[in-house]
Amino acid sequence: MLVNKLGEFGLIERIKKTIKTDESVVKGIGDDCAVIKLDKYNYGLFTCDMLVESVDFKPQDEPYLIGRKAVAVSMSDIAACGGLPRYCLVSLGIPKDTSVDKIDKIFYGIRSLSRIFKTNIVGGDISSSPVLTIDVSMLGIVEKKRLVLRNGAARGDMIFVTGRLGDSISGRHLKFIPRIKEARFLVENFKVNAMIDISDGFAQDLGHILKESNVGAIIYEDLLPKYRKSTSLESMLYGGEDYELLFTLPIGEAKKLLSSKLSIFTPVGHITHNRFDLRLIDRKCRVKKIPFRGFRHF
């Protein structure tokens, strides 16, 4: 069988089954970050993301933005667990005819975001490769009591997203600001039950929360925050790379957040019994079952 047929998540499930970890690992494969014991008050968050030319960015994209995105996607994973990024390594696979100027610009992008979010670039690796490949691994930190995973969503929770959804792939995916500050505001002030970043599409990533938490959800088309007036429902539900936070709050906490009137957080639905799966209530008040579809590498 080819990986094409098994699919990305099938492959991850298959790998996950073969792997055991010791008691120092709080959460291994299957969340935005791995969570490891660090000290009395803190956990370590460990994550990596590989960007490949012509898959995650185009050859003609600005090198500055490619570098920026390479760290931003890992920071977004740290944010989704409620933590702060601290250290990163950059592995670069570089075609031999690449200009030094291009590498300078990629690192300019990497440094710019690292500086904003106080993340130390501490090392990496350089290899030759037929296509430009950047893998950033990141180590972050989160207070034990503030860690948020995908598996805590409970019936009755309200579902929120940050920012706006859809049309990211037309350019925004290279320029987004990882929601570190928003995530910290949430975990420092609210009891967040579950959180994920929307990297593979709203429906698919909400699907991860539902599956891990063994619950269902209802969302409302009217509530979904469109990026542009012309943004389609299709693009909001299934478009990849929004890098917004998707999270659930118990109703009391949700009310508190709503009363803060911060326009960055939009309620989009609520968590239900798991037999509901994922349903959308559309403009005409029709209920539709929504597939957990989105971007997949295979």
CB of 138 to its own copies, least distance (A): 9
Point out which span in 59-67, 133-141, 170-178, 245-253 binds its own copies (CB under 8 A): 133-141
**Of 76, 133, 193, 213, which lies in the binding site for its own copies, with binding defined by CB under 8 A?**
133
Lookup: tokens for 89? 């390594």
62 binds its own copies (CB under 8 A): no
CB of 115 to its own copies, least distance (A): 9
Binding track, positions 4-43, relative to its own copies; x by CB under 8 A: xxx-x--xx-xx--xx-xx-xx--xxxx-xx-x-xx----
174 DSSP assignment: G
Which residues partner with 128 through β-bridges? 94
76 binds its own copies (CB under 8 A): no
Contact 209, 160 (CB under 8 A): no
Give the three-state DSSP class for 168. helix
Contact 227, 168 (CB under 8 A): yes
CB of 31 to its own copies, least distance (A): 8
143 binds its own copies (CB under 8 A): no
**Of 59, 60, 100, 284, which lies in the binding site for its own copies, with binding defined by CB under 8 A?**
100
131 binds its own copies (CB under 8 A): yes
Q: Which helix (H) or strand (E) holds 130?
A: none
CB of 60 to its own copies, least distance (A): 17
> Measuring CA to CA, which residue among 211, 233, 192, 236 is closest to residue 80?
192
Q: Cβ contacts of residue 58 below 8 Å, gap of 6+? A: none
> Measuring CA to CA, which residue among 232, 245, 250, 234 is closest to residue 288?
234
50 binds its own copies (CB under 8 A): yes
